[in-house]
């Protein structure tokens, strides 16, 4: 197992032990062993097709390991029923490369969707929501529909949606894949701010300059996926 960076007394945010994932005959992920601690900032890197998205899907319980033990917030995947999986996902903020918005809802409704799913009234928290949208620079786009946003605006809206319920873990899958360097830096800054608030960040990317920029500003661990196997990245990063 890859070494932990913090204490091992409390359960990790994510614990993978000998986790394999196969789709049909193809072994996509093999012998994953890693423990991610609360408050950590993790990069998951590797070439396209290395299995980064599959790894994240395992983490947010969208896929079931073929074998091995997967614990999320200390709870075993196999022990969770559908409601428990839904509750666990509410503790995870997810940012997809394609953002996955509901196109007929405006930015405000999309961003507040996690609150509604959790049974909270967005209207009662409008002031803080406006502040959140201002933080990501979208307070003037609240009534816009997702197709009307630029790539960077979509990514920032996705970030706002991912953090609106103050989740313990944020998973980001290539969040800078469709934006320019300036916007990548801005998104990274927002994620670093969240990490400094104690949130665990797992960011899948093959953007090496972004990783280097982050390492210069915050303590990170970089995990590399290659050939379906997970390794600690070398000093070249």
Partner 1 sequence: MIRQLYSAAAALAGEGASDKVVPGTGPAAWLTVFVAAVMGFLAVFSMALAVSTDRLAERWSADLGRVATVQVTGTPDTLDALTDATMRILEETPGVAFARMLSDEEQAALLEPWLGPDLPFDTLPVPRLIEVVPGNPPYDVEGLGLRLAGELPGVRLDDHGRWRAPLVAAATRIRTLGYVALGLIAAATAALVVLATRSTLATNAPVIEVLRLLGARDAFIARAFVRRLTLRTGLGAVVGASLAASALALVPAPPDQSGLLVDLGFQGWQWIWPIAVPFGAAFIAFWATRQSTLSRLRGSM
Contact (CB, 8 A) for 92 and 165: no
Contact (CB, 8 A) for 224 and 232: yes
Judged by CB under 8 A, does residue 101 bind partner 1? yes
User: In this complex, which beta carbon is closest to partner 1, that of residue 33 or of residue 88?
Assistant: 88
Judged by CB under 8 A, does residue 148 bind partner 1? no
CA distance 170 to 203: 8
Of 25, 78, 83, 182, the residue at the interface with partner 1 (CB under 8 A) is: 83
Site string for partner 1, 160-199 (x = CB under 8 A): -x--------------------------------------
CA distance 15 to 10: 12
Of 87, 125, 137, 206, the residue at the interface with partner 1 (CB under 8 A) is: 87
Two tokens, residue 183: 């916007």
CA distance 79 to 70: 10
CA distance 199 to 66: 29
Residues numbered 102 to 141 that lie near partner 1 (CB under 8 A) are 102, 104-105, 109, 113-114, 116-119
Least distance in angstroms from the C-beta of 131 to partner 1: 21
Count other Cβ atoms within 10 Å, centred on residue 195. Answer: 21
Return residues touching partner 1 (CB under 8 A): 60, 62-64, 82-83, 86-92, 94, 100-102, 104-105, 109, 113-114, 116-119, 161
């Amino acid at each position: 197992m890859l070494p932990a960076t913090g204490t091992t007394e409390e359960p990790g945010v994510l614990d993978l032990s000998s986790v394999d994932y196969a789709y049909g005959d193809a072994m996509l992920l093999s012998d994953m062993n890693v423990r991610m601690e609360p408050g950590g900032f993790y990069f998951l890197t590797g070439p396209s097709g290395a299995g980064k998205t599959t790894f994240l899907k395992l983490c947010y319980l969208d896929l079931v390991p073929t074998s091995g033990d997967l614990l999320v917030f200390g709870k075993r995947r196999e022990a969770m029923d559908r409601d428990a999986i839904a509750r666990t996902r509410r503790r995870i903020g997810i940012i997809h490369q394609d953002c996955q918005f509901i196109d007929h809802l405006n930015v405000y409704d999309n961003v507040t969707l996690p609150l509604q799913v959790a049974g909270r009234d967005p209207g009662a928290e409008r002031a803080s929501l406006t502040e959140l949208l201002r933080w990501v620079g979208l307070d003037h786009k609240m009534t816009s529909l997702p197709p009307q946003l630029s790539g960077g605006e979509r990514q920032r809206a996705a970030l706002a949606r991912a953090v609106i319920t103050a989740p313990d873990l944020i998973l980001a899958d290539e969040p800078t894949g469709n934006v320019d360097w300036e916007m990548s830096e801005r998104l990274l800054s927002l994620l670093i701010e969240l990490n400094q608030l104690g949130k665990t960040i797992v960011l899948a990317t093959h953007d090496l300059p972004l990783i280097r920029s982050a390492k210069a500003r915050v303590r990170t661990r970089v995990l590399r996926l290659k050939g379906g196997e997970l390794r600690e990245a070398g000093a070249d990063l």
